[in-house]
Structure 1
Amino acid sequence: MAFTTAQTQSNYNIVMEEKRREHFELRLVRLDIDSRNEYMVFMRKDCPVCISEGFEALNRIRVTKDNKTLVASLIVWDNETQLRHDQLGLSNAAIDALGAIEGEPLSLSHLDALDSMGNVRKKIYGNRLNQGEFDTIVKDIVNRNLSNLQLSAFLASCTGDSLNKEEVIALTKSMINIGYKLEWDELNIYDKHCIGGLPGNRTTPIVVAIVAAAGLIIPKTSSRAITSPAGTADTMEVMTNVNLTIAQMKKVVKQEGGCLAWGGSVQLSPADDILIRVEKALDIDSEGQMIASVLSKKAAAGSTDVVIDIPVGPTAKVRSQLAAEHLSEKMIAVGKAIGLNIEIVLSDGFQPVGRGIGPSLEAKDVLAVLRNEKNAPADLRERAVILAGELLEMAGMAVVGTGEFKALKIIRNGTAYDKFLAICKAQGHFKEPGIATLKHPVYSNQKGRVFEIDNRRLAKVAKLAGAPSVKTAGVLLYISLGSAVKKNDIIFEIHAESKGELEYALSYLNTQKEIIKIKES
């Protein structure tokens, strides 16, 4: 049978396309490499695909299996025993995302230039970005098209006062629009957030218990630690399941009026969850990015009324009254632009809150307050009562000025604790916090009164001891500002689960002078 010229050309094109695909396909080998949020592809430097395509280390490459495609950073692999010329490796997360099986052929191709990186470069050079430009960046973040290196460049370009009010609003809207948004039957949905910076400031579980016990709806999603020894999700995970699906979260809220879930498990504002992992590695937390992070998740959770706690102190995240007022104004303005009613509470940021620093130790403080134990930390109870009282007043459940009294009453009569247990059980279970196997006391080297505590350096001791990944690790405080101490009194105790981590924390502590300053009376 004869073919026309067009048919012959078409057949030729099909054959050449098949040959091209064979040439650019490699078979998958599972290397069992965990690269967290970043997808990675591993190839031999003498692999024919690397040579013919000019791929180099850290190039961004499209990897395709059937109709699924992802973008991965190239790692050049020299281990001949694990990879042959016709094979490639992928990080575990990339394998899961593609649904690939070892031995399957995967196609490779260059990644076209990303418009989002042009926008990032524009920001690096101090230019303003509009809504469309932020939309492009956030879309590429969620689609995993940007490497951690590129994400770091974006985060660095947003530090300090780099983002003005309009840019923060635009970034917040982009982060809301790209993810899932919860909807509730009730008109008013309440929430609370602390911007962080104070070790041990674990008011959220107490506030949620009080507010839900009062009959309000408070579907709380919280993050894990970014730069601190514990986030609310880390602390709650000590006592219950926080990895809820959206359906599970809605069921718990319908049953109990509130929940305490990890935000990452319900994928609200998914760009934020990716950025948080990179921020944690960089140990930075920029103002504009922080506002967008907090408020995008509140809006995505369906909240309408939010109380935000801003601790102010020389070693807190916000160090002056002027900075706190500036941040408050920007938060209220951004909240208004996205439909949130926000109340700001400025609080004392001169020292840690409660006694425990680290997931289990902070959980013990929370339970002590809710159980009305005699030795419960009074400062933690007072802060939680102030914040819960503000929410009760916003809801019209208490006359202005009486919210704190009503909130304290809900703790005192035990209904807050009952509600907390009910929420934990609705989320799967309740269990008591564990205790570390290793404890190392740190003693006062003089007599006097405590007049200064360095929040940041004390938090670092807790992190070096293993918190938050090791739930029982951290620091237990025996003093607070104004405490009278004698020489050789215990001022705090380091908790750890391994000798290596304990020694790591102690080696840092030995290089630091006066994390806790004591003056003679």
Structure 2
Amino acid sequence: MLPPELMFRIRAIAIDTAPENMAFLPRGGGDYGAERFLALRKIEISRGDASIQATLAVLDDPSLLEPGEIGLGAQAFRRLGLAEGSEVAVAQAQPPASLDMVRRKIGGETLAAGEIASIINDISRHLYSPMEIAAFLVACAGFMSTAETLALTRAMAEVGARLCWEQPLVVDKHCIGGIPGNRTSMIVVPIVAAHGLFIPKTSSRAITSPSGTADTMEVLANVDLSLARMNEIVAREKAVLAWGGRVNLSPADDILISVERPLRIDTPDQMVASILSKKLAAGVTHLVLDFPMGPTAKVRSSSEAVRLRKLFEHVAGSLGLVIDVVMSDGSQPVGRGIGPVLEARDVMAVLRGEADAPADLRDHALLLAGHVLDFDPELRGGQGRARAAELLASGAALAAMERLMAAQGPPPAVATLGALHHEVCAPRAGRVSAIDCHRIARIARLAGAPMDKGAGIDLFCKVGDVVTAGAPLYRIHAVHDTGLSYARAMADDASGYRVMA
């Protein structure tokens, strides 16, 4: 037991410090002051089996805490799991032993599976600072062996929750990303469910895109579901479209992503580990992977696609996951809407069979749904796409989606299209020869998507379309003036469209 002067009462401080655990002590508090712990600025806070490490921040306003109190940011307070006012012991934290392994990786060594597992376990316990995580990611970006990628995937899948559906065939579909508007999962899932296969789809929120599947589905229904609620829905509907973060699937991946995003690190090895660890943790047995390929997509050449496919196949096969990789056109956005509300509009137009529904979104969703249905041993080989088209045309897929929406419940808030808008027009008459997916996605994010669900871009033209000078190419929607201003400025600098006279 620590001496009495190192015992504190915890107070919750309403500060979002994600992804870090943060603790607060006043400066100049004698035995209770922050100076006692400033050597490493990392402290361990514990009571019984409850324990966390936190980065210490110094308070210069003594009125924020009473003597004998330690403040915990929102993340630290939630993760510690004790009631406010509980007495805890505070000590200088010891650096995790796995940091020595990170240093060896920085030095160019290849790590053993057990060493990678130790690093991932410590990261998932929030023992690493963002700087230390960045060091690990950058070292891995420099070089990873295939064996290390496999070990990383396995370690990430084994930390956190593991879903078990007690079904011999649990299918899923995933796109590696990079193509705005490619919201096929929300069409594939109801098609597959209507056919009768289990497809419990847990999805992430957007990382660098204007919307993720969870963001778009949240326009139509609640996606923040408990594991018990997910089980109930899947048992009845054979499907779900939920946010995976609620059920703690591969939590180390979420931590790594929070550091990867600002560094813009997205290596093939880390992509494989991220995607496959989430699918394994979600209980998936058979997975269709969509590889869009194009000049501004994540995969830009056939040779890159082949290398990535082989890596996915090796790691998935080693872990017992059956995958089917589908190479697709990633030369331009899919559908017309980019951003949650606009994407949800396109999805429902396809499911309802509306005459003006985006044909490219419908066709791509049918292609992928067909590949998923081909996993069904009861279905004759190669008949998946025809079956998918039948289920869409008959209204069975729409009915399945409506049942899912009712089962998951209403969204937390009504989302409507942003009232502020600006049209970006063709600089000359001619034909649209190219659309920069990366640029369009950045403009949509500056407009406010996905945080503002009504923000985004409504596309009027696609590659091959003939336009007149001054004709609108797309419309930017925003909820706030600032978002519209930022998006307009980027679009004015370069619209993302190339029009050839």
Question: What range describes the TM-score normalised by the shorter chain of this pair?
Answer: over 0.9
Using the TM superposition, give the Cα deviation of residue 303 of structure 1 relative to its aligned residue in structure 2, in angstroms: 1.3
Q: TM-score, normalised by structure 2?
A: 0.95
Q: TM-score, normalised by structure 1?
A: 0.91
**Count of aligned positions:** 500
CA distance in structure 2 between the aligned counterparts of 1:299 and 1:67, rounded to whole angstroms:
29
TM-superposition CA deviations, 1:44-73 (whole Å, max 9, x none): 332334779752287221012454211001
Alignment of 1:179-198 (within 5 A): 179-198=160-179
Partner of 2:111: 129
DSSP-derived class of the 1:302 partner? coil
Is 466-475 or 123-132 further displaced after alignment? 123-132
Partner of 1:509: 491
TM-superposition CA deviations, 1:206-241 (whole Å, max 9, x none): 111111111111111111111111111111111111
Confirm or deny: 8 A CA contact 2:6 2:32 kept in the other structure.
Answer: no
DSSP-derived class of the 1:434 partner? coil
AA in 1 matched with 2:96 = L
Alignment of 1:397-416 (within 5 A): 397-416=378-397
Alignment of 1:490-505 (within 5 A): 490-505=472-487
Q: 1:264 to 1:452 in 2, by over 3 A?
A: same
The structure 2 residue matched to 1:146, chosen from 107, 119, 128, is 128
TM-superposition CA deviations, 1:110-129 (whole Å, max 9, x none): 11221221122222222211
CA distance in structure 2 between the aligned counterparts of 1:95 and 1:341, rounded to whole angstroms:
40
The structure 1 residue matched to 2:399, chosen from 418, 432, 437, is 418
Partner of 1:294: 275
1:353 aligns with 2:334: yes
Q: 1:494 to 1:32 in 2, by over 3 A?
A: same
The structure 2 residue matched to 1:74, chosen from 48, 56, 77, is 56
Confirm or deny: 8 A CA contact 1:335 1:341 kept in the other structure.
Answer: yes
1:96 aligns with 2:78: yes
Alignment of 1:174-253 (within 5 A): 174-253=155-234
Unaligned runs of 5+ in 1: 1-16
Using the TM superposition, give the Cα deviation of residue 101 of structure 1 relative to its aligned residue in structure 2, in angstroms: 4.8
Confirm or deny: 8 A CA contact 1:44 1:84 kept in the other structure.
Answer: no
Unaligned runs of 5+ in 2: none
Confirm or deny: 8 A CA contact 1:230 1:468 kept in the other structure.
Answer: yes
CA distance in structure 2 between the aligned counterparts of 1:138 and 1:342, rounded to whole angstroms:
25
1:112 aligns with 2:94: yes
Q: 1:58 to 1:363 in 2, by over 3 A?
A: farther
Confirm or deny: 8 A CA contact 1:173 1:296 kept in the other structure.
Answer: yes
CA distance in structure 2 between the aligned counterparts of 1:399 and 1:301, rounded to whole angstroms:
27
Using the TM superposition, give the Cα deviation of residue 508 of structure 1 relative to its aligned residue in structure 2, in angstroms: 2.5
| Aligned CA-pair RMSD | 2.0
The structure 2 residue matched to 1:434, chosen from 409, 416, 426, is 416
Confirm or deny: 8 A CA contact 1:192 1:308 kept in the other structure.
Answer: yes
Using the TM superposition, give the Cα deviation of residue 441 of structure 1 relative to its aligned residue in structure 2, in angstroms: 1.1
Q: 1:362 to 1:52 in 2, by over 3 A?
A: closer
AA in 1 matched with 2:204 = S
AA in 1 matched with 2:222 = N
1:471 aligns with 2:422: no
Partner of 2:374: 393
- Percent identical: 43
Is 329-338 or 426-435 further displaced after alignment? 426-435
DSSP-derived class of the 2:64 partner? coil
CA distance in structure 1 between the aligned counterparts of 2:475 and 2:14, rounded to whole angstroms:
38
Confirm or deny: 8 A CA contact 1:240 1:428 kept in the other structure.
Answer: yes
Using the TM superposition, give the Cα deviation of residue 278 of structure 1 relative to its aligned residue in structure 2, in angstroms: 2.7
Using the TM superposition, give the Cα deviation of residue 247 of structure 1 relative to its aligned residue in structure 2, in angstroms: 1.5
Higher alpha-carbon Rg? 1
TM-superposition CA deviations, 1:365-401 (whole Å, max 9, x none): 1101101011111111111111111111122354333
Confirm or deny: 8 A CA contact 2:455 2:477 kept in the other structure.
Answer: yes
Is 37-46 or 381-390 further displaced after alignment? 37-46
